[in-house]
Structure 1
Amino acid sequence: MHDMPGYDYHIDIPGTVLFDGKQAMKGYALNKMCYDFNKAENREAFKADEEGWMARYGLNEEQKAAIRSRDILAMIDAGGNIYYLAKLAGIFKLSVQDVGGLQTGRTTEEFQQYLASQA
């Protein structure tokens, strides 16, 4: 039964961080903080005191450094789930298309052109 997909199963896609159980555990604090950004008052409070918010949620140094540098890809490496990070990216004035460009090695404009070509 151990050959079944889903049982301790991992796909290696070069250049891609898969959000699996290991990444979920690694990024728990970061994702919990980002989840709380669903409330506008929390987004505003974060902007007023980023360091305090990161300490409050117990982010590790890798996660803090990624946030300080506004590096979404480093946040993903640090266990961030893109769905939760979308709120944080919004706080940093990054659109989903900005993030898509970062993830694919394109500028935002190149990513938008790519999307348009797929329609």
Structure 2
Amino acid sequence: MPLDKPYQGVPGTTIFDADQSRKGYWLNQFCMSLMKAPNRERFKADERAYLDEWPMTEEQKQAVLARDLNRCIELGGNIYFLAKIGATDGKSFQQMAGSMTGMSEEEYRNMMIGGGRPSTWTPPAKEKK
């Protein structure tokens, strides 16, 4: 029986839960492999060949190649694992997050210093028994 997921209705948000974890297992394992310098070198030398060593879906591989981190998240990627791709590319976490929001690094930083984005979402009311 699937768990109730009242958080699924948050606009523009993918929650990394157990289902997402299972979906993105190999994508996240690939990302973790980039913690080792020899693997980063192999990936940078031939990204497609390195990705093909992992049993990821073609969609996941294409999202990595395009550096479409929002799509990677939809496909099960965890942002803390995906940060390894950014680090491999010489990008800071702040630069990555900015690119994911369509903002410059400075715009993103200023938004976060200012308290982040306002949320208009409210959780659904629980049914009374």
TM range, normalised to the smaller chain?
A: 0.7 to 0.9
1: distance between equivalents of 2:95 and 2:4?
A: 31
Partner of 1:3: none
Q: TM-score scaled by structure 1?
A: 0.83
Kindly report structure 1 stretches of 4+ aligned residues shifted beyond 6 Å: none
Aligned: 1:34 with 2:13: no
Count of residues in correspondence between the two structures: 113
CA deviation profile, 1:37-72 (whole Å, cap 9, x unmatched): 111111111111211221111121111111121111
* Residue 28 of structure 1, CA deviation: 0.8
Q: Note the alpha carbon deviations across 1:71-100, whole angstroms, 9 max, x for none.
A: 111111111111111011122333211222
- Give the TM-score of the pair, scaled to structure 2: 0.77
Please list, as runs of the form range in 1=range in 2, the aligned pairs for 1:60-71 lying within 5 A after superposition.
60-71=57-68
Equivalent in the alignment of 2:88: 91
RMSD: 1.9
Larger helix share, 1 or 2? 1
- 1:51 counterpart letter in structure 2: R
Identical counterparts, % of pairs: 40
CA positional deviation for 1:107: 2.3
* Cα displacement (A) at 1:103: 4.0
Q: Match for 2:50 among 53, 67, 72?
A: 53
The match for 1:114 among 111, 116, 123 is 111
Structure 2, unmatched stretches of 5+, are: 116-129
Give the Å deviation of 1:29: 0.8
Residues 17-32 of structure 1: pairs in structure 2 closer than 5 A: 17-32=14-29
Distance 2:91 2:63 in 1: 15
Q: What's 2:98 paired with?
A: 101
Aligned equivalents of 1:101 and 1:52: distance in 2? 28
